Amino acid sequence: MEAPPFSPLIRSVGLTGVLITFGARATDEANRAAIAFRGAVDALAWPEVDESSSTLVSAFFRIDLSKHSFLMIQDRLADILASRDWSATPLPEGRALWTIPAVFGGARAPQFDEAAEAAGLSATQALADLTQTRLRVLTLGFAPGQPYLGTLNAAWDIPRQVGLTPNVPAGALVAAVRQICLFAKDTPTGWRHVGQSSFACFRPDADVPFPLAPGDEVQFTEVSVAELERLEAHGIDGAERMVIA
C-alpha cells in the first residue's frame, strides 16, 4: 500500500488529550505507525498520560491539558516522532496470533458469494484469501472490543452496500474496503456478511474483557456448520492464541 501522504500531525483534542495522526486515509503504513508509536510512548510511562488508544491512522493520549502544558507535551512527542520512521518500526512486543474457526457461505454467511463476485473472485479463490491471509488487528471500535482487521489484497477493495442489512449476529465476519470486521454484537451493517464464528470480542466478566488488541494478528480457519453449531452449543469459540512477539 502507498505510504502516508503527509508527515505526522500533532494536535490537542480540547483539554482531553493529544492526537497524533499519521495519514489522511487508512493505509497499512499509517496504521503500523500509529500502533508502534502508541506502544513506544506507553513504554515510557509518562505520569501525564492517563490512557492511550489507537485508531486506523492515529494515536491518542488522554492527558488533562488544563493541568499539563500542551506545548511541552507537543515538543516531547515531536522529539519521539523524529527519532525514527514509524511506518517501518516493528510493532510492540506481546502481540498474539489468534486462529479462529468460522463458516464461510451458506445460510450462516449469506453474502459470501456476493462479496466474492464483487471482488472478481471465484468462491474457491475468495475462501483461500479469507483463510490464508494473516490479518492485523488495525483498531478496536464501534462496539466494545470489536476489531477491524486488515489488510486483504487489492481485489477486496469492494464498496459497502448501498443499503443496510437490518441485523447481522455477533461473531459475524463482514467485508468491505480490504478489511474484515468481526462483530462484537448483533447489529445492522452496510458490509457484506461473508463468514460466521462464535468468537466473543467482548468478555465483560473476564480478567481481559477485550481479548484482541491492536497489533495482534488473526487467521481464520474454515469449519463446517455442524462444528460451528457444536461450538455455539457449548459456549466456546474454538480459537487458539499464540504469542508471536
pLDDT digits (tens, 9 = 90+) for 95-114: 999 999 999 999 999 999 99
- Say whether 96-243 and 9-88 share the same fold: no
pLDDT at position 245 is 76
Contact 112, 126 (CB under 8 A): yes
Task: Give the residues of the chain that fall short of pLDDT 50.
Answer: 1-5
Q: What amino acid is encoded at 30 in this protein?
A: A
C-alpha dist (Å) from residue 105 to 16, 110, 149, 167, 173: 44, 6, 19, 17, 11
Q: Is the pTM of this model over 0.95?
A: no
- What are the structural domain ranges in the chain? 9-88, 96-243
CA 216 – CA 193 distance, rounded (Å): 22
**165-179, pLDDT tens digit by residue?**
999 999 999 999 999
How large a percentage of the chain has pLDDT more than 70? 98
Q: For domain 96-243, which CATH number applies: 3.40.605.10, 3.40.50.300, 2.40.100.10, 3.40.50.10490? A: 2.40.100.10
Those residues whose C-beta lies under 8 Å from the C-beta of residue 164, and which sit 6 or more positions away, are 188, 189, 190
Instruction: Kindly write down the DSSP assignment for every residue of 102-157, as one continuous string.
Output: EEESSTTSTTHHHHHHHTT--HHHHHHHHHH--EEEEEE-SSTTPEEEE---GGG-
pLDDT at 198: 98
Within 8 A by CB and 6+ apart from 88, the residues are 29, 32
Residue with cell 499509517: 30
User: 144-166: per-residue pLDDT in tens?
Assistant: 999 999 999 999 999 999 999 99
* The pLDDT value given to residue 7: 83
| Other beta carbons within 10 Å of 9 | 13
Closest CA relative to residue 42, chosen from 59, 27, 23, 25:
59
Distance CA 85, CA 87 (A): 6
Q: Which cell numbers in the block locate residue 17?
A: 488529550
CATH number for the domain formed by residue range(s) 9-88 = 3.30.1360.40
